[in-house]
C-alpha cells in the first residue's frame, strides 16, 4: 500500500466521514490508498470498498491500553508498509509521533482547537512530528495549523457525497406556509463546543419540542434541564445518515461556539434543510443570508418567532447550495489530494 490514512474510528464525525469519501475516490483513481482506524466502532454510511483495517481499541481506553494499541499500530504500519501516512486528528498524530516507524507523514487538522485539554501533550507531539518532517493540511481556509512549527501548509476542503445522503433529500423543497413544528440538533452533545443546552433554552422561549440526533453521552444533564424548563425532548441516538429523520416542520439549530469545517451545516446547506446557525466567522464563509445567523439564545428565539409560520424562510438559497456542492465535490477534492500525495511521494 502506498498511502495509508489513519483515523480515530470507522465513523462518528466529520473527519471520519470525509476520509472515507476521499479514500473511496482515490481508489477509483487507481491509487493504492487505504484506511487504518484506531478505535472500534460502527460502519459509516460511506465505506471504502477495500483496504480498511482496524486496531479495535475501545473508546476512552486508559494509558496502558493506549500504549498496547500503539505497539499494534507500529506492527500494522510495518506490515502494510505505506510510503506516506496521513494522520487525521489528535490520536492518529500521537500514534504517528510515538509509535510510527520512519515514514513520510501528512497531518490533517480538522479542528479549530486541536488537543483541547491536552495542550502540553499536543505541543510535544507536534514537536516530534516537526523533527520527523511532517507536512500539514488544514480543511479550513481561515485557520493555520496550531503549533505546526511550519509556515507552509496546504488547505483542502473536506469532500461531501450528497447523493449518498439520499437523492430524494437533495434540494428538497419546503412548501411556503409550512410551520416550524420541532427544533433539531445533530451532533455530539459537547457542552463547550456544540452547546446543546441552547436548544432547550430556545425551545422554552418558542414553545417547541426538541429532538437530538447523535451519540447520547451527556444526555442526563439535558433531560434535567428540559424538565426544569418544561420542554419536550427526545434523543434519537446515533444515525449514520441523520437526515432520514428530518421531517417537514423541523428546523435545524447549530449553536456551536466554534467550528473548523462544520459537517452538519455543510450537509444541511447542500440538502437545503431549514436552518439557523451561530454567528461565527467560521459559518459566515458559507455566504448565507444575514438572517441565518444568530448571536445568542434570545436572537435564535426572535428569528424563529418572526417566521415560525413559514419555515421556507429558513432555507438556503438554491445558488448557495449549488456553489457549496461544487466546492465539496469528492472527485475534485480527490484530484487535489492525488497531486499532493504524488508530490510528497516523489520527495526525498
In a shared domain, residues 62 and 202:
no
Q: Report pLDDT for 281.
A: 86
Q: Domain containing 185 — which CATH number?
A: 3.40.50.2000
In a shared domain, residues 102 and 208:
no
Cα separation of 18 and 137, whole Å?
A: 14
Q: Report pLDDT for 176.
A: 62
In a shared domain, residues 60 and 137:
yes
Number of compact structural domains in the chain: 2
In a shared domain, residues 50 and 178:
no
Question: Which grid coordinates belong to 235?
Answer: 434523543
The string of DSSP codes covering 64-81 is: HHHHHHHHHHHHHHHHH-
Q: What is the CA radius of gyration of the chain?
A: 21
Residue 302, number of CB atoms within 10 A of its CB: 14
Of 200, 203, 246, the residue nearest 223 (C-alpha):
200
Helix axes 219-229, 197-206, angle to 10 degrees: 20
Q: Within 13 Å and on the Cβ side, how many CA atoms surround 137?
A: 23
- Residue 284 makes CB contacts below 8 A (sequence gap 6+) with 293
Residue numbers of the domain that contains 36: 3-159+329-346
In a shared domain, residues 172 and 149:
no
In a shared domain, residues 217 and 79:
no
Cα separation of 320 and 284, whole Å?
A: 12
Residue 164, number of CB atoms within 10 A of its CB: 16
Cα separation of 62 and 50, whole Å?
A: 31
Q: Report pLDDT for 238.
A: 85
In a shared domain, residues 102 and 197:
no
Specify the residue for cell string 459537547: 190
In a shared domain, residues 185 and 96:
no
In a shared domain, residues 38 and 150:
yes
Question: Which grid coordinates belong to 135?
Answer: 507536512
Q: In b/e form, how buried is each residue of 169-187, taking b as 16+ CB within 10 angstroms?
A: beeeebeeeeebebbbbbb
Q: Report pLDDT for 147.
A: 83
Task: Note the pLDDT tens digit of each residue in 271-283.
Answer: 989 999 999 988 9
Cα separation of 229 and 336, whole Å?
A: 49
Query: Can you give the pTM of this predicted structure?
Result: 0.87
- Residue 49 makes CB contacts below 8 A (sequence gap 6+) with 24, 27
In a shared domain, residues 118 and 194:
no
Q: For every one of its 348 residues, what pLDDT tens digit does the chain have, with 9 covering 90 and above?
A: 899 999 999 887 788 999 999 999 999 999 999 999 999 888 888 888 889 999 999 887 888 999 999 999 999 999 999 999 999 999 999 999 999 999 999 999 988 888 988 999 999 999 999 999 999 999 987 778 888 777 689 999 999 998 888 655 555 555 666 899 999 999 989 888 899 999 999 999 999 999 999 888 889 999 999 999 999 999 999 888 888 888 889 999 999 998 878 889 999 999 989 999 999 988 988 888 889 999 999 999 999 999 999 998 998 888 888 999 999 999 999 999 999 999 998 886
183, 204 contact by CB (below 8 A): no
In a shared domain, residues 321 and 192:
yes
In a shared domain, residues 247 and 120:
no
What string of H, E and C letters represents the secondary structure of 312-339?
Answer: HHHCCCHHHHHHHHHHCCHHHHHHHHHH
Amino acid at each position: 500500500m502506498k498511502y495509508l490514512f489513519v483515523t480515530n474510528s470507522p465513523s462518528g464525525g466529520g473527519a471520519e466521514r470525509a476520509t472515507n469519501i476521499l479514500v473511496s475516490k482515490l481508489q477509483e483513481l487507481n491509487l493504492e490508498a487505504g484506511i487504518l482506524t484506531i478505535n472500534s466502532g460502527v460502519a459509516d454510511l460511506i465505506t471504502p470498498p477495500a483496504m480498511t483495517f482496524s486496531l479495535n481499541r475501545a473508546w476512552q481506553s486508559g494509558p496502558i491500553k493506549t500504549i498496547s494499541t500503539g505497539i499494534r499500530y507500529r506492527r500494522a504500519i510495518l506490515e502494510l508498509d505505506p510510503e506516506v501516512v496521513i494522520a487525521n486528528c489528535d490520536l492518529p498524530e500521537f500514534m504517528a509521533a510515538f509509535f510510527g516507524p520512519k515514514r513520510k507523514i501528512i497531518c490533517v487538522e480538522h479542528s479549530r482547537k486541536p488537543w483541547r485539554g491536552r495542550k502540553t501533550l499536543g505541543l510535544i507531539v507536534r514537536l516530534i512530528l516537526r523533527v520527523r518532517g511532517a507536512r500539514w493540511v488544514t480543511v479550513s481556509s481561515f485557520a493555520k495549523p496550531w503549533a505546526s512549527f511550519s509556515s507552509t501548509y496546504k488547505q483542502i476542503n473536506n469532500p461531501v457525497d450528497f447523493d449518498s445522503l439520499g437523492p430524494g433529500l437533495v434540494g428538497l423543497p419546503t412548501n411556503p406556509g409550512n410551520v416550524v413544528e420541532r427544533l433539531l440538533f445533530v451532533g455530539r452533545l459537547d457542552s463547550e463546543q456544540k452547546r446543546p443546552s441552547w436548544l432547550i433554552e430556545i425551545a422554552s422561549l418558542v414553545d417547541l419540542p426538541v429532538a437530538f440526533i447523535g451519540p447520547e453521552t451527556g444526555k442526563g444533564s439535558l433531560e434535567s434541564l428540559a424538565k426544569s424548563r418544561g420542554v419536550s425532548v427526545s434523543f434519537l441516538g446515533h444515525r449514520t445518515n441523520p437526515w432520514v429523520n428530518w421531517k417537514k416542520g423541523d428546523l435545524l439549530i447549530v449553536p456551536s461556539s466554534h467550528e473548523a469545517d462544520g459537517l452538519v451545516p455543510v450537509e444541511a446547506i447542500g440538502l437545503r434543510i431549514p436552518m439557523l446557525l451561530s454567528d461565527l466567522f467560521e459559518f459566515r464563509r458559507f455566504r448565507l443570508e444575514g438572517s441565518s445567523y444568530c448571536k445568542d439564545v434570545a436572537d435564535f428565539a426572535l428569528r424563529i418567532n418572526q417566521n415560525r409560520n413559514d419555515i421556507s424562510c429558513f432555507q438556503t438559497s438554491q445558488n448557495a447550495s449549488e456553489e457549496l456542492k461544487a466546492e465539496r465535490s469528492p472527485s475534485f477534492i480527490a484530484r487535489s489530494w492525488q497531486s499532493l500525495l504524488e508530490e510528497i511521494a516523489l520527495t526525498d
